[in-house]
Amino acid sequence: MATVDPSPTLAPTLRVAPSILSADFGSLAAAVAGITPGTDWLHVDVMDGHFVPNLTIGPPVVASLRAHSELYFDTHLMITDPARYLEPFRDAGADGCTVHVEVGETTALIAQMRDLGLRVGLAANPDTAFEALEPFLDQVDLVLCMTVFPGFGGQSFMGEVLPKIARVRAAADAAGLTLDVEVDGGIDEHTVVEVTRAGANVFVAGSAVFNRDDPLAAVDGILRAATEERAGVAS
Ligand code: DX5
Ligand code: ZN
């Protein structure tokens, strides 16, 4: 559960969560090893061909990766029936799972994730209102604001999501909740500045990391840009 802090921190840890969706699936372990010195999280995109029009990976791939990595596996379930797969992903080595609020049954899914010992995330598509997330803010550890429509890497960042990010952060601060606010889609060393200003602190980046010549330098560049933006706001 999100911790209640009597003097709420306005500065939860900034981190980049590289998305393996844009990595070479034939050399996943090597791709993950390449970015590992730069971060402590790995974003794992799970798609079922139903909630989104794409198919990606399932628990066996997570289990294979687990044997090669000690990173925190931030598992983004873009699937219609997460209740059926939460336990297999936990058993495969997921540390946290994020389900979409659009699939419904959110209260039950949060309880199931807690029972399984998973860190709890709740995601919203770009056109899903803040109000859909609001009732759950004190029950989750992470809120993921999609900054593209989920399904594919390499899409353009949607700036119209910025007000929702700011509302999530403001509501968390007002309630004294230390909440990870994650953004996913079109994040690079430029767009990370805007989302940091809005209140995000976890930055998923796929193509801006793995489609670069030097993925580790790309991770560092995104984190540096976010850190500089926060320092500028603070000073
Ligand atoms: C999109 C996925 C993202 C994707 C982001 O549906 O949830 O995690 O990998 O890719 P980029 O960073 O290229 O937009
Ligand atoms: Zn994702």
Known catalytic residues are 45, 184
Q: Which residue numbers in the chain have pLDDT < 70?
A: 1-11, 233-235
Query: Considering only CA atoms, which residue is closest to atom 10 of ligand 1?
Result: 153
Q: How far apart are CA 78 and CA 80, in angstroms?
A: 7
Integer Cα distance of 77 and 32 in angstroms: 19
pLDDT number for residue 11: 65
pTM strictly above 0.85? yes
How many residues would you count in the chain?
235
d(CA 166, CA 196): 10
Output the pLDDT for position 6. Answer: 42
Locate the ligand 1 atom nearest the alpha carbon of residue 43 and give its number: 8
Question: Burial, 222: exposed, middle or buried (Cβ in 10 Å; 0-12, 13-18, 19+)?
Answer: buried
pLDDT tens digit sequence for 165-224:
999 999 999 999 999 999 999 999 999 999 999 999 999 999 999 999 999 999 999 999
Distance CA 148, CA 139 (A): 25
Which ligand has its closest atom nearest to the C-alpha of 185?
A: 1
Helix (H) or strand (E) holding 121: strand 119-124
Residue 177 contacts residue 3 (beta carbons within 8 Å): yes
pLDDT at 160: 98
- In angstroms, what is the span from residue 204 Cα to ligand 2's centroid? 7
Round to whole Å and give the CA distance between 217 and 26. Answer: 22
Which atom of ligand 1 lies closest to the CA of 21? 9
- Residue ranges around ligand 1 (CB below 6 Å): 19, 21-22, 43, 45, 76, 148, 150-155, 184-187, 204-208
